[in-house]
Chain A
Amino acid sequence: MNILEETKAAASQSINEDRFSIAKVLVAVDLTPHSEKTAAYGAEFAKSVGASVTLLHVFPPEPNVEFASESVFESFERSRRLMAQRLTKLIDQVRETGVECDRDFRVGDPAEKIVESARDLHADLIVTGAHHPGFLGRLFGLDQPPRILHRAGCPVLVYHEGNE
């Protein structure tokens, strides 16, 4: 059997092997206005394949500087609580649509924590959004989807808003 025949046979065999199944979808949101549509798309996708959703937000770690005042830490804590509330609200809204939805709130580097969460949950798919940052944003690593997909151990679905 030559290499072309092998390719054809392998492609055909793989489809007949394990059944396509997605049971757990991890939807990572940054809680910007884009997140509503990303969460909606993730929930809709999960519903269409009969999967459950875990909505995750990763909050940046607290500033680690010697001269930060108490008010900086208070402000950081307020911001963390606010984001946690927003996540809870978004989860309630996803649940209202009939999709089973859990919550995950982590602190740290977004890409690392998303991949860690997916591994902990044994997620079959990560859904996240892309907002097309500029060249500089990409250069300085502010664009998370490519960072996620290079670390992830499962497929990653990147949703682009406004193209329905």
Chain B
Amino acid sequence: MNQVLEKTVKDTNDLNIREIVVAVDLSPHSEKTAAYAAKFAKSYGASITLVHAFAPERITEFTTQEVRESYREEEREAERALRKLAEGVRETYSDCGCEFRIGDPAEEVTLMAKDLNADLIITASHHPHFLSRLFGLDQAPRILHRAQCPVLVYHEEKELTEP
């Protein structure tokens, strides 16, 4: 046990956090999550990549052209919002990129982390209701179960919530 600890903590600079993937859902909370991630990255001199995964279109044979166009518009709007968020971060921390993906958020975020060989994933949890958790709407636990690297779950405010 001692050897494990000594080997790991032998030097302050041993903790190499060079690449951070930041998963954002583009809700109002995302600004603070991105800002926290940027401050975190700054202290390690790490690169951050903001990732947003847009849920795939629910197109059936009965989907009208109008509905399809509305999905497309939502998708374009989300991509624009992600780019703006990244631009905002870059004004104070230049080493920030962004990646817009289509697919299941937890899967896409963990794939992205794997592709980039990320040292850390930062995401947020907004303390959703029990039913939201039951139906898998809270992505943080899903990311935790798929991730191959440490995951930091950011909470915006220091307050306790109902179990």
Mostly helix, strand, loop or mixed at chain B's interface? Answer: helix
**CA of A41 to CA of B2, assembled, Å:** 13
B5 touches A14 (CB 8 A): no
Q: Does B68 contact A (CB under 8 A)?
A: no
Q: Which of A56-64, A75-83, A143-151 contacts B (4 or more CB under 8 A)?
A: A143-151
Chain A residues closer than 8 Å to B127, beta-carbon distance = 150
Is the Cβ of A150 less than 8 Å from the Cβ of B125? yes
- Shortest distance in angstroms between B75's beta carbon and chain A's nearest beta carbon? 15
Number of interface residues of A (CB under 8 A): 57
18 of the cross-chain contacts (CB-CB < 8 Å) are: A7-B81, A8-B88, A11-B35, A12-B92, A20-B42, A39-B5, A48-B13, A112-B163, A147-B163, A149-B144, A150-B133, A151-B160, A155-B153, A155-B155, A158-B150, A158-B151, A158-B153, A163-B150
* A14-B31, A40-B4, A40-B8 given; 19 more Cβ-contact pairs under 8 Å: A7-B85, A10-B31, A11-B31, A11-B34, A12-B92, A15-B39, A15-B89, A15-B92, A41-B150, A43-B8, A93-B1, A94-B5, A112-B163, A149-B144, A151-B163, A154-B158, A155-B36, A158-B150, A159-B150
